[in-house]
Structure 1
Amino acid sequence: MTDAVPDGAAAPRGGLRLASFNVNSVRRRVPHLLDFLGRVSPDLLFLQETKCQAAEFPALEIEALGYRVHAVGQRGGRNGVAVLGRVPFEVVADSLPGDEADAQARYVEVEAAGIRAAGIYLPNGNSGGDEGYGYKLAWMERLAAQLRRRLDAFLPFAVLGDYNVCPAEHDLAPGSLPPTDALVRPETRARWRALLHLGMTDALRALHPVERIYTYWDYGPAFEGNRGLRIDHALLSPELSERLSRFEVDTRTRASEQPSDHAPVWLDLA
């Protein structure tokens, strides 16, 4: 896998480039975001952990690059997701169905270029004790129900974002997490497998089945020592998995000054 694309590299003719980036506070990462958009030029980019309400989102500089912005914020500046598009899109949902009382900003779904695509910020599950972990598992079950609805309707569907799940042992550096961590607990991994059993494809593993590839490195020496986690994923419905031609992790963004602890990920659909 390469860590960046040449300036001006474009998605395949007639294709679509989708991307995801946990920015860990969008107002602090505007330079990183503008650089990524300028180099990679995704057609749709989903952001997580924007940490601002929608009215506070720094849209003007992004819109100057030709992108439309739709942000979903949360009171108190926690969580937050957004979608940036240089292709026309229609917002289908600003929250994940299944719990009307859930006010956390973790889901946005759009229709664009003949497909449905969603950006998610799945709960971490390590805070809040049993209740916090229960919320994570319940959220994953709601996500499975949403995927089932889209698949039953034969809608081409992609779900990108920070899943806060390391699906298997080769998705994390040896010894980097204890077995009790919510990202690797058996219940978490079982619900991840349930998403795949519905018929979704893990885009990275479809093209890179055995490589140790990470998308997150904690602050400090973890990045330099490549002690990371793979927790940023893209799941594709059968129609879209057949079109998958490329998947990349943009470590150049993670290597920049004052970065997010996540690297953007992106894929091409032919």
Structure 2
Amino acid sequence: MRLASYNINGVNSRLHVLTRWLEEFQPDVVGLQELKCTDEAFPIEAIRALGYSAIWHGQRSWNGVALLSRVGEPVETRRSLPGDPDLSQSRYIEAAICGVLVGNMYAPNGNPKPGPKFDYKLAWLDRLADHARDLLGSGAPAVLMGDYNIIPTDEDVYKPERWLKDALFAPEARERFRALVGQGWTDAIHSVHPDERVYTFWHYWRNSFQRDAGIRIDHALLSPPLAKRLKAAGVDRDPRGWEKTSDHAPVWIEVET
């Protein structure tokens, strides 16, 4: 089974990119982030036409997450983190799909720091850690995937010195990612490509993609039962080179069914 995570950066404005990618890559399960549309404006008919069912949690102009599946209806288990202090922000959705518990997230950016946005980012990540611990305790095969808005290490960024003041590269955020993995989760991309620089995001300016001046902020963390079934993982860079595309590329994993 192939699962993917894709920050689409506006599902309606990039619908031509999304539908082309779904047709060409044919993932079984997809987590989308940054829908930037209300629930009513989500393009469900175009997605159903390609054979996918979906659940989604939208928000006008900002945020928004969705889960797509062509291997059975997603059975929603939650659409926010337990105890989330700001339920107006649609950042997390979770469902059981084909025997796997799939958590899909768009974590807060946190800029500028210091300030209330950075404080909210850290509080949100703490709630994610609590929920992740509970998921591990359940023993279920689970994946927590999406745009974490965290650059975990110096190897995950083209020029670390340029990101020292950014919330994505802040020591507090990086430490929370390390602690999350330390619970027992497997960072799929790092596990499969331990000695490679793998990026998932490139700014639109200064030919960043052409120069491969990127960062890795989109991740897929696997619980031990699912990590044992991991066959492959990577980043599909092709859509990042298309016209009027997202500044992210899809992250994908393949697991034995």
- The answer on 1:248 being equivalent to 2:248 is no
Residue of structure 2 aligned with 1:227, choices 213, 225, 232: 213
Q: Which amino acid aligns with 1:235?
A: L
- Which residue type is aligned with residue 217 of structure 2? I
- Aligned mates of 2:90, 2:181 — CA distance in 1: 24
Shift of 1:77: 2.1
Runs of 4+ in 1 over 3 A off after TM superposition: none
Q: How does 1:1-270 map to 2 (within 5 A)?
A: 16-74=1-59, 76-88=60-72, 89-99=74-84, 101-127=86-112, 129-175=114-160, 177-220=162-205, 221-270=207-256
Aligned mates of 2:146, 2:75 — CA distance in 1:
19
Q: Deviations over 1:181-207 (max 9, x none)?
A: 111111111100110111000000111
Shift of 1:175: 4.6
| Alpha-carbon distance change, 128 to 60 in structure 1, aligned in 2, over 3 angstroms | farther
Bigger drift between 42-51 and 120-129 goes to 120-129
Contact 1:176 1:227 in 2 (8 A): no
Structure of greater relative contact order (alpha carbons < 8 Å, 6+ residues apart): 1
Q: 1:193 is matched by which residue type in structure 2?
A: R
| Offset, 1:36 | 1.2
Percent of counterpart pairs with the same letter? 44
CA, structure 1 residues 101+22, in 2 after alignment: closer, same or farther (shift >3 Å)? closer
Return the TM-score normalized by structure 2.
0.96
Report which stretch shifted further, 147-156 or 95-104: 95-104
Alpha-carbon contact 1:159-1:236 (below 8 Å) kept: yes
Q: Give the count of matched residue pairs.
A: 254
For 2:174 and 2:113, the matched residues in 1 are separated by 20
Q: CA deviation at 1:138?
A: 0.7
After the TM superposition, which of the residue ranges 254-263 and 121-130 deviates more from structure 2? Answer: 121-130
Instruction: For residue 129 of structure 1, report the CA deviation from its aligned partner.
Output: 4.5
Q: List runs of 5+ in structure 2 lacking aligned partners.
A: none
The letter of the residue matching 2:62 is R
Paired amino acid for 1:233: H
Letter in 1 for 2:210: E
Superposition RMSD in Å:
1.2
Counterparts of 1:173 and 1:100 in 2: how far apart (Å)? 34
Determine if contact 1:173/1:229 at 8 Å carries over to the other structure: yes
Q: Answer whether contact 2:200 2:218 (CA < 8 A) is retained.
A: yes
- Contact persistence 1:176–1:228 (CA under 8 A): no
The residue identity in structure 2 corresponding to 1:84 is: L
8 A Cα contact 1:141 1:191, kept in partner: yes
Relative distance call for 1:100 and 1:175 in structure 2 (3 A) is closer
